[in-house]
Amino acid sequence: MLLAAFVGSLIVFALLRSLGGDVAHIILGQYATEGALEALQKELGLNAPWYEQYFKWLGGVFTGNLGVSYASRFDIFHEIVRRMVPTAILSFGSLLLSMPIALALGTYAAIHSKKARGGLVDVASQVGMAIPAFWAGLIMVLILAIRLGWLPAGGYTSPFEDLRRSLRQLAMPILALSLGNVSILTRYVRSAMIDVMSEDFIRTAMAKGRTRRGAALVHGVRNASVSLVTVGVIHLGHLMAGTVVIENVFVIPGLGRLLLTSVLGREVIVVQSLVLVILLMILVMNFMMDIAYVLIDPRIRDKGGGAVA
């Protein structure tokens, strides 16, 4: 995990530096004198060799000192920490909502795979995959907020300040993010369940008197959950990328909104720090996914089992 984080940080740093452009020119404007440009570059450390800039920035990741924004002059580390809570609520909230729904729909579609009702779930998941999250969010705002007035159209309140108001404000963003996620995960669960249903232990359970549905619910769901956890955690990166749009649609001050404003303002050091933080969050989730395997699948706990090999 640490090696992946190091390589990822190096790639992010190299790619952003390859874009070109002088930050000092952007801050001071096109009419700035050479003396003023050189002074600002020295102040920001932009005249140092690239490897010195890289290791200084990387060292700041471990010490909590990511520097100061070039133009806005805010402390990057504290700003990221402050904005991490809304993004984490959106991403993990969407994931926690999507996984049980996808497990139920995927299992239903697999059990009834040869019937029309199973086909309807497949069609619905295809439609859900084709709908962009931002479009779903705008439609929800139009219907649920403007026409019906059930939910607020945007804004953010910390759940630690007012839980009820926070849930009302975050309901539509989480639903908008979850729509495509449920559709994708449902497809994976359906495929995994169909494979599980052809296993010998399912036929043995049915031979002992269980119905096809009973065997699927008792023995199949737990096995299919391993694939669901894998795909769900991998899909977490997609959810975090989706927050860039969703947070701007619903005016939520999270990492996605900060990332967009930093890109537009060419705040290179803010962008690279944000991307690294998101990368670290995904790596940690992958690590937790490995732990979840052990809890879900008892075969992995058995060191002599075939699953380990």
User: Could you give all domains of the chain from N- to C-terminal order, each with its CATH number?
Assistant: 2-63 (no CATH), 83-301 (1.10.3720.10)
- Backbone phi, psi, residue 297, to 5°: -110, 105
Q: Which residues of 268-305 are buried (b: 16+ CB within 10 A; e: fewer)?
A: bbbbbbbbbbbbbbbeebbeebeebbeebbeeeeeeee
Q: What is the pLDDT along the chain (309 residues), one digit of tens a residue?
A: 888 888 888 888 888 777 665 666 566 656 667 777 677 667 666 667 778 778 888 887 777 777 777 777 788 888 888 888 898 898 888 888 988 898 888 888 888 877 888 788 888 888 888 888 888 888 999 999 999 889 888 888 888 888 889 999 999 999 998 888 888 888 888 888 877 777 666 677 777 777 666 766 666 676 777 777 777 777 777 777 778 888 888 989 888 888 888 888 777 788 888 888 888 888 887 787 777 667 766 666 665 444 433
H/E element, 239: helix 236-249
